Structure 1
Amino acid sequence: MNFLRLHTALPIMCLFCLVDVAGARWTWRNPLPQGNDLKRVWGLAPDDAYAVGTAGTILHYNGTEWIWFRPITTEALDDVWGSSTSDVFAVGSGGTILHYDGSGWTAMTSGTTAALRAVWGTSASNVFAGGQSGLILHYDGSSWTVMPSPTIILNGCLNRMWGSSANDIFAVGDFATVVHYDGSTWQKMNSGTSDWLYDMWGFSSSDVYAVGDDATLIHYDGTSWTPVVSGLIYAQIRGVWGTSSSDLFLANGSGPSIRHWDGSAWTQAPMTRYVVSVWGSSASDVFGVGGEGWIVHYDGSGWSPMTVGTVEQLNSVWASSASDVFAVGSNGTIVHCNATVCSTMASGTTRDLYGVWGSSPTDVFAVGWYGVILHYDGAAWTRMVPDGSNSGSSLWGVWGSSGSDVFAVGWSGTIRHYDGVGWTTMSAPGYSYRAVWGSSPTDVYAAGQGGSMAHFDGTSWTSVSCGATTSFESIWGSSASDIYAVGVPGSQRMLHYDGLSWTPVSVPTTGSLLGIWGTSGTNVFAGGGTVFHYDGVSWQARSTGIGGSVARAWVVSENELFTVSGGEGGQILHFQNTAPVANGGEDQTVKENLGVALDATATSDADADVLTYRWTQISGPAVTLSDPNSPTPTFQGPILASQAPNSIVFELTVSDGYLQSKDQTTINVTPHTFADVPANSMYYPSVEKIVSRAITAGCAAGVYCPDMAVTRGQMAVFLEKALRGQAFVPPAATGSFADVGTAHYAAAWIEQLARDGITAGCGTNIYCPEMEVSRAQMAVFLLKTKYGKDYIPPEPQGLFNDVPTNHWASRWIEQLFADNVTAGCGNNNYCPDMTVTRNQMAVFICKTFGF
């Protein structure tokens, strides 16, 4: 299970954070435990609470820490409920239902793609879910089924469920919908309001509350629903929970605030973030959750945040290493992340900051609104220029080739330069620039509004005509002839410069691209909410898998980067990826015109990513792979025209979607073994297979004698070597058979065959080693060797015309057919008395033993 832990104690503070990154590239760095919107909080006990939200977010509180479960879905989750610590359900968009069994979450089959907004039950085998258009599902412990619903909510949903028992369940929803289940059927109720209802809670069958739009708070007394004064005006009340009618908490989704009713008066606790759901285990242990991962806790005297880290908008990020990351944003916010924690730094300004860049950990620059420029020397941030410098033009981007060659660009054509001593304003074409980047001090680009672009050659800035009319937000390149500029929607949302001209690039999005960055021409990232990656071939959209939004980033290394969202919530994501290690298998030596299998299954990836494979032949006689994108493709080896050995070299490219790894494998092709079994013979593959396993070396130097009949002596050698492998050497012969002297070439093999119970000879104490083997005898030999001496095939059925069921070998012959070793000799005959040639025996052995 992959998770992130936020260790807390009350009062809440982050003690330490631990991320399990195995098999997971993206993790949250700010805020913690995560920054996706939370939509519901619910629990069983003070040490057993859950929160769910967008992008499949699930958190668990164990009384000490919030644990973030790595999502198994990207769908938004709207509600959570459970009967025990090992039986918890979460529901959400797209018909999503997840179940937790105490060790991990798994997806359930809901039978619908409709959005589900509510879940509640009375036991593990009596669970209800409600959602889109009034849909109601029921789970009986085995499967989910649709229940008849008393309402159809056009363009609306059932949003919450609660009950006092299995025979008293309520559901509320959009358009003032309230329905009730009495254990038999669902019935529609009169809610007494015209407003949408979002949440409900109750204490008994006659004491139930629901909340919704226009400050709606209604109460059910067992007879009817009536309005209750909430003390709010035009508020959207998103959540309700309490311990009794004199201890109610309301989540004001438009406040932001949490209101409390003590039985006599309402009090209000302002929040810095919207809270949409509340739940508690007691009057002094209450949780509230909301936007951007916001979690607060009430201890009976006051509310305190459990979410750690800033929620200010962050606009830009730069890092000198993975343990030295700077992000800047609104209201002068500067966040610094070391290897374990992110913390806010004192910036000395409340101006919004838009760009950050550094030459080292002790030489970092930040620029922003009204011309502000800050510098960090490793100890503190200080202003480099007075506010309002350069007529107060805001600065949006900063970049340098060194600490004494820094450029800042901004509004109304502003470009400022730092030479290590002071900042000066440069003369430049009068556009508004949003980004700056260069490959060297004499090759710097600034890009901005309306497709404006300028170039600095070390002496002066000149306008660049790139053909764009839409505005640029970011520019980056791997070299002077490999540069990208990205921006707002349009046909020129991404342009590429190859050293000669700028051309549009197709990217799979219709939205804006706010950032571009990379490590090389084959490892480039672009951000526009979603992250996009270029591998040197094409641009692909890549999900973070954990939600969040990606706008701008800084690449620390080929396999590590940090991103910010450019929006509220203070989101900082960390991407860490290990390149796969391609392994194309050992080099092989094979015979010509034989099937060859390539094998990349030894390829590894430390992140356990799903990998793609691509085999490319780079030298040797051309061959055709069965599937170049398979880890184990096959091909037919070439026939060597000159009978001289040749080599085929393949390159394997393995990708995890971000990084690639390559390996080469050489296949050495050698001529056929025997002069009398050419490479185009139908028996050639089988003969070469038994040769490669040392089952035979032929009948003489360089020849196989393919048409020679197999003798019983030869058969003994063939069978034992096929059964036991080429390393087996039988014990010395003792003269068991009168007609097989101990000096006979096959004596030891014949006696081993007898010891294995495969044969008892051809008569009393004789073996007949020079007798030719018939096809009937061969069937018995092969099957006894394969299945053992005690094997007896099934009763024969009379499959072959020339093998009646009373034939002594009929059952063995038919089993050989059943094993797909032979189909007979033609015309539905088997030819049982025909002798077996060495060619045929090679085929029989290979098919019998699966060679």
Structure 2
Amino acid sequence: MLRRVCLAAVVLVGCGRPHVAAPPVAAALPAPEPESSQQPDVVPERGPGICSESGWCWHHPLPQGNTLTSLAGTSATQVWAVGNDTLLRFDGERWERIADAPADVWLKQLAPRAAGGFWALGQRWHAQGDQGLLYAWDGRQWHDTGLVTASSDAMWVAGDRDIWLLSEAGRLSRWDGEALRDGPAPPTAEGNALAGTDERDVWLGADDGLFHWDGRRWTRVRREDTTGLLVRAPGDVWAADLAAVHHLEGGAWRSWPLAHDLLRRLYDGGDGSVWLVDSQQVLRFSAGEWRTIAANDSRLRALWSAPDGTAWGVGDKGILSRWDGERWTQSIDRRWLHPLHAIWGIADDDVWAAGREGLVAHFDGRAWTRVALPEAATIRAVWGSSANDVWAVGDGIFHWDGRAWSKADVHLWDTMDAVWGTGPRDVWAHGTDGVLHFDGCWWSAELAVGSFRRARGGATTAEGEPVLPALPGLLRKRGGAWEIAADSPQGRIVELHGTPRTGLWALQAARSGQALLRLDAGDIWTPLPLPAAAKEVVRFHVQAPDALWIVDSDGGVYRWDGATWRDEAQDLTRFHPAAMWVSPGGDIWLATFNDNAGLLRKPAARRTARAAAAAPPAPPAPTCGPDPTAVALAAELVHVDAGDLASSGSVSPADARETARVWLEALRNTQVLTLARVSALPLAVQGFRPCGDAPGVGRDVEEFRDLLDCVLADSVKHYVPREAQGEWTPRARGLSGTLKVIRPSGLARRMARYRPTIDALARAGHVLVQARTTDNNGMTIHFAVAVRATRSGPRVVAVFVDQLFEE
């Protein structure tokens, strides 16, 4: 069975010997109460929360977002919680951060200390193997015991000079305040929890059972996989396994079966009650019965209860849960728990953050407020030209007009990863398969070139030319045509930012390491030395040539002032930054993900707002004609020149868009492959092979070979073998199949959903070719290719692909 770590055991000190086990008495736990009664109340978000010594303050979640792993306390007004580099104290009214917690240490478990305070079992990541550490907190300061040993899963404090440690390797040892010596060899190497009352009454929960040490030998008491253990007094033992919870009292075991096979932990309620926590729910045993308190949808990791019965629970993302004897409350709205990917603002008091499942929030200078999107889409980037003109892109393109978010009427072939622009009539977005442009009226497909490697950002040069990162370099539009920039830096560009005011900056990843590059006069990329202390740089933000920030993979933040780097986050460690933005006044914002997910802000010690360049007058509202993409698609369907169609007025804007909508809906679940020279995706890029004008395409199947080879050559997703009603050597290994001219009525059953569109293409005089291939796994892939003749040569209009079903 897999190893399990971080299973806490609540320990009380006493004396005596356990009773002999008796057969269990079955009694089923009650079914959970109605869902409405399980939903915890939520404490309203207010900010900022707990701040670090170097000035970083939590804005979400509150009061902080570090994962917490253990609790201890002496009363309802003296409670401590620990986690990664974190010690918090609750004084009865609020939580506060205690400074000088052991650096770079994951504090895993707390236990009361007879001399006052508590013992803390820690772990430090080390190249030669994780280390186990032991600290003491006396109520005022930390004391390092100097103990360095193997990383431990569990600790039991028999006394201040007798602490038992269970290592991850299953070894049991005892620390006497000065030295570590071996304890009684445990009967298993898969221990999960350790507890007892004295050195002759020790209990061990393990994967292969529950064991008891009587001072002379170990005895297996139960054979079930034991993950939770609570020893309250001699002969008063609680144990939880994957299927039930058991209680030893009066020499007999009583059992309550549980519905699911889950890891479970047990905690003393302080007032005679018992708490049980698993990944699905939180239960409390009181007055002889179990009661469901809440659904554990916040991944509760530990719980502690005061003598008066009030309790605190802690878990991932810093969530604090509290039981006041009647009600369970949480410190965070669970809808905020989705990871954040983007943060951006127009001013110090006008900031947007966004992430998965439609999570979009706004900061007005005082607090963050969630703002609804039209749908639960993942957002990966945000940019705007003003407070009333903000774009968010990801699994869709969305616009904020100052009142509400709306979804742009644009068809995406893939997720958008970046958005930027120069104003409300010049906005760019790109993803893995193409580039879109907004002209103030319509979004149109600007570029479709195979697959971009995922990269962040985009920039606009002083000449107003868009530039974006791709392979094998930077793509730049010059003179109306896209090309791979001749001055592209060597290596892979993973992030690009810049405006005419800041200049162009790029983060490069090469075999020799990372480099931060700026584009100087003469189109020369000059590296900016990175700070020696920085690890892998994951994001950067540029405000001016002498005001630039970077953040590394470990949460280190550094600022470049034009001459030197300054460390902005001396005590911000083991965070996983997803995005960074710096306000005009100098506030640094970080959006983080994983266990320490949330929003952090370091307010500027002194406002550094720079004199902004005079903004050009707002352009007049554009007069919007028909959507050019819709007109082009409509022209393809009716076989009419797009220019004539738009100018003649024979197709109204509404009709053109409806025609395009039908077309795009038919293609919604297909993959279009490298449609160079197609009106809707019209541009061939220098350095990428165009295929739309392949010579010699007619109605003879053999004449399609060169065209299909070209269309599919750069695709990393699909391949068509070269076999046309006979011998056609497969270009991709492991594929075989046929290619033939078809009529729409003869379309393969698996592609029948495309028949309306293909019927329309056939009526317009297109030649239809169908390919059927089979790979090594027996998966059949169907293609349908539509080609029509034009004055300039044959043109591929569409490639339909269906590989979702087996024959």
- Give the deviation of 1:448 after TM superposition: 5.2
Q: What does the per-residue CA deviation read over 1:200-249, in whole Å, with 9 as the maximum and x for residues that have no partner?
A: 2233211112345x34645455879x79444133212244444688x432
Q: Partners of 2:499 and 2:186 in 1: how far apart?
A: 55
Q: Partners of 2:251 and 2:367 in 1: how far apart?
A: 54
1:426 paired to 2:446: yes
Q: Which residue of 2 aligns with 1:406?
A: 427
Query: Would the alpha carbon gap of residues 320 and 314 (structure 1) be closer, same or farther in structure 2, given more than 3 Å must change?
Result: same
Secondary structure in 1 aligned to 2:317? Answer: helix
Choose from 93, 98, 101 the match for 2:135: 98
Choose from 54, 57, 64 the match for 2:86: 57
1:351 paired to 2:374: no
- 1:92-241 map, 5 Å: 92-93=122-123, 94-103=131-140, 105-121=141-157, 129-134=165-170, 143-151=177-185, 160-164=193-197, 168-172=201-205, 176=209, 178=211, 180=213, 188-193=218-223, 195=225, 197-211=226-240, 214-215=242-243, 217-220=245-248, 228-241=255-268
Q: Partners of 1:424 and 1:523 in 2: how far apart?
A: 33
Choose from 406, 409, 423 the match for 1:383: 406
| Letter of the structure 2 residue corresponding to residue 97 of structure 1 | L
TM-score by length of 1: 0.55
Identity of aligned pairs, percent? 18
Secondary structure in 1 aligned to 2:69? Answer: strand
Q: Partners of 2:171 and 2:603 in 1: how far apart?
A: 41
- 1:730-741 map, 5 Å: none
Query: Would the alpha carbon gap of residues 417 and 114 (structure 1) be closer, same or farther in structure 2, given more than 3 Å must change?
Result: same
| Letter of the structure 1 residue corresponding to residue 398 of structure 2 | I
Query: Would the alpha carbon gap of residues 266 and 13 (structure 1) be closer, same or farther in structure 2, given more than 3 Å must change?
Result: closer
| Letter of the structure 2 residue corresponding to residue 287 of structure 1 | W
- Give the deviation of 1:413 after TM superposition: 0.8
Q: What does the per-residue CA deviation read over 1:132-175, in whole Å, with 9 as the maximum and x for residues that have no partner?
A: 445666676xx44324312369986x654444467645454566
Q: Which residue of 2 aligns with 1:574?
A: 601
Q: What does the per-residue CA deviation read over 1:634-666, in whole Å, with 9 as the maximum and x for residues that have no partner?
A: xxxxxxxxxxxxxxxxxxxxxxxxxxxxxxxxx
1:319 paired to 2:319: no
| Letter of the structure 2 residue corresponding to residue 67 of structure 1 | E
Q: What does the per-residue CA deviation read over 1:675-734, in whole Å, with 9 as the maximum and x for residues that have no partner?
A: xxxxxxxxxxxxxxxxxxxxxxxxxxxxxxxxxxxxxxxxxxxxxxxxxxxxxxxxxxxx
| Letter of the structure 2 residue corresponding to residue 564 of structure 1 | A
Q: Partners of 1:315 and 1:150 in 2: how far apart?
A: 50
Choose from 77, 91, 96 the match for 2:107: 77
Q: Partners of 2:328 and 2:50 in 1: how far apart?
A: 30
1:280 paired to 2:308: no
- Give the deviation of 1:367 after TM superposition: 1.7
Choose from 10, 15, 29 the match for 2:59: 29
- 1:190-589 map, 5 Å: 190-193=220-223, 195=225, 197-211=226-240, 214-215=242-243, 217-220=245-248, 228-242=255-269, 247-252=273-278, 255-261=279-285, 263-264=288-289, 267=292, 269-281=294-306, 285-307=310-332, 310-369=336-395, 371-377=396-402, 380-383=403-406, 385-386=408-409, 389-391=410-412, 393-419=414-440, 423-427=443-447, 429=449, 431-432=451-452, 434-438=455-459, 440=461, 442=463, 446-447=467-468, 450=471, 453-457=474-478, 459-464=480-485, 466=488, 472=494, 475=497, 483-485=505-507, 496-499=517-520, 500=523, 514-519=538-543, 520=545, 523-528=548-553, 530-531=555-556, 533=558, 535=560, 544-545=571-572, 547-556=574-583, 560-567=587-594, 570-576=597-603
Q: Which residue of 2 aligns with 1:593?
A: none
Give the superposed CA RMSD.
Answer: 4.3
Q: Partners of 2:223 and 2:255 in 1: how far apart?
A: 11
Relative contact order, CA 8 A, sep 6+: which one is greater?
Answer: 2
Q: Partners of 1:404 and 1:366 in 2: how far apart?
A: 16
- Give the deviation of 1:355 after TM superposition: 0.9
Q: Note if contact 2:537-2:553 (Cα within 8 Å) is conserved in structure 1.
A: yes
- Give the deviation of 1:341 after TM superposition: 3.2
Q: What does the per-residue CA deviation read over 1:65-88, in whole Å, with 9 as the maximum and x for residues that have no partner?
A: 222334442211111122489512
Of residues 422-431 and 200-209 in structure 1, the stretch that sits farther from structure 2 once superposed is 422-431
- Return 5+ residue gaps in structure 2 as ranges: 1-39, 124-130, 607-807
Secondary structure in 1 aligned to 2:357? Answer: helix
Q: What does the per-residue CA deviation read over 1:93-132, in whole Å, with 9 as the maximum and x for residues that have no partner?
A: 03333333333x4241232143244445466666555544
Secondary structure in 2 aligned to 1:292? Answer: helix
Q: Partners of 1:574 and 1:109 in 2: how far apart?
A: 35
Q: What does the per-residue CA deviation read over 1:514-568, in whole Å, with 9 as the maximum and x for residues that have no partner?
A: 4222444674304435446475678999765354321221122585311112557
Q: Note if contact 1:132-1:153 (Cα within 8 Å) is conserved in structure 2.
A: no
Query: Would the alpha carbon gap of residues 324 and 238 (structure 1) be closer, same or farther in structure 2, given more than 3 Å must change?
Result: farther
Of residues 171-180 and 266-275 in structure 1, the stretch that sits farther from structure 2 once superposed is 171-180
Q: Note if contact 2:174-2:182 (Cα within 8 Å) is conserved in structure 1.
A: no
Q: Note if contact 1:486-1:495 (Cα within 8 Å) is conserved in structure 2.
A: yes
| Letter of the structure 2 residue corresponding to residue 235 of structure 1 | L
| Letter of the structure 2 residue corresponding to residue 390 of structure 1 | H
Query: Would the alpha carbon gap of residues 20 and 44 (structure 1) be closer, same or farther in structure 2, given more than 3 Å must change?
Result: closer
Q: What does the per-residue CA deviation read over 1:171-217, in whole Å, with 9 as the maximum and x for residues that have no partner?
A: 5456657564x7xx68544253363x5442233211112345x3464
Q: Partners of 2:235 and 2:222 in 1: how far apart?
A: 16
Query: Would the alpha carbon gap of residues 391 and 550 (structure 1) be closer, same or farther in structure 2, given more than 3 Å must change?
Result: closer
Secondary structure in 1 aligned to 2:147? Answer: coil
Q: Which residue of 2 aligns with 1:41?
A: 71
Q: Which residue of 2 aligns with 1:722?
A: none
Query: Would the alpha carbon gap of residues 166 and 360 (structure 1) be closer, same or farther in structure 2, given more than 3 Å must change?
Result: farther
- 1:703-742 map, 5 Å: none
| Letter of the structure 2 residue corresponding to residue 554 of structure 1 | W
Secondary structure in 2 aligned to 1:412? Answer: coil
Query: Would the alpha carbon gap of residues 198 and 234 (structure 1) be closer, same or farther in structure 2, given more than 3 Å must change?
Result: closer
Q: Partners of 1:473 and 1:138 in 2: how far apart?
A: 52
| Letter of the structure 1 residue corresponding to residue 539 of structure 2 | G
- Give the deviation of 1:424 after TM superposition: 4.2
- Give the deviation of 1:577 after TM superposition: 6.6
Q: Note if contact 1:443-1:480 (Cα within 8 Å) is conserved in structure 2.
A: no
- Give the deviation of 1:354 after TM superposition: 1.2
Query: Would the alpha carbon gap of residues 418 and 165 (structure 1) be closer, same or farther in structure 2, given more than 3 Å must change?
Result: farther
| Letter of the structure 2 residue corresponding to residue 332 of structure 1 | G
Q: Partners of 2:322 and 2:595 in 1: how far apart?
A: 22
- Return 5+ residue gaps in structure 1 as ranges: 1-9, 580-851
| Letter of the structure 2 residue corresponding to residue 62 of structure 1 | D
Q: Partners of 1:257 and 1:23 in 2: how far apart?
A: 36
- 1:647-726 map, 5 Å: none
| Letter of the structure 2 residue corresponding to residue 109 of structure 1 | T
Q: Which residue of 2 aligns with 1:823?
A: none
Q: Note if contact 2:381-2:393 (Cα within 8 Å) is conserved in structure 1.
A: yes
Query: Would the alpha carbon gap of residues 458 and 328 (structure 1) be closer, same or farther in structure 2, given more than 3 Å must change?
Result: farther
